Amino acid sequence: MSPDEEANPIKDYLFEQIEKSETIPSHIVKKQFDLIIEDIVSRCYDKIILMDDEEEAVGILATGLLHYLLTNALITSQRKIEHEGIEIDIVIPDIKTLEKDPKKTLLICIPKSSDIDIINEKIAKLEKVQPEKENIWLVLSRSIPVEKKSFVLSKEDNTFSKIIFEIAKFSNVGGSNKFKILRI
Dump pLDDT digits (tens) for 147-179: 999 999 998 888 999 999 999 899 876 444 444
Mean pLDDT within 3-10: 69
How far, in Å, CA of 120 to CA of 26, rounded? Answer: 39
Residue 16: how many CB atoms within 10 A of its CB? 11
The answer to whether 79 and 63 are in contact (CB under 8 A) is yes
**pLDDT tens digits for 9-41?**
999 999 999 999 999 999 999 999 999 999 999
**pLDDT tens digits for 49-108?**
999 889 999 999 999 999 999 999 889 999 999 999 999 999 999 999 999 999 999 999
Q: At 108, which helix (H) or strand (E)? A: strand 106-109
Strand, helix or coil for residue 146: coil
Residue 53: how many CB atoms within 10 A of its CB? 12
Q: Which domains does the chain have, with CATH numbers?
A: 9-174 (3.40.91.80)
Instruction: Give Cα 66 to chain centroid, integer Å.
Output: 4
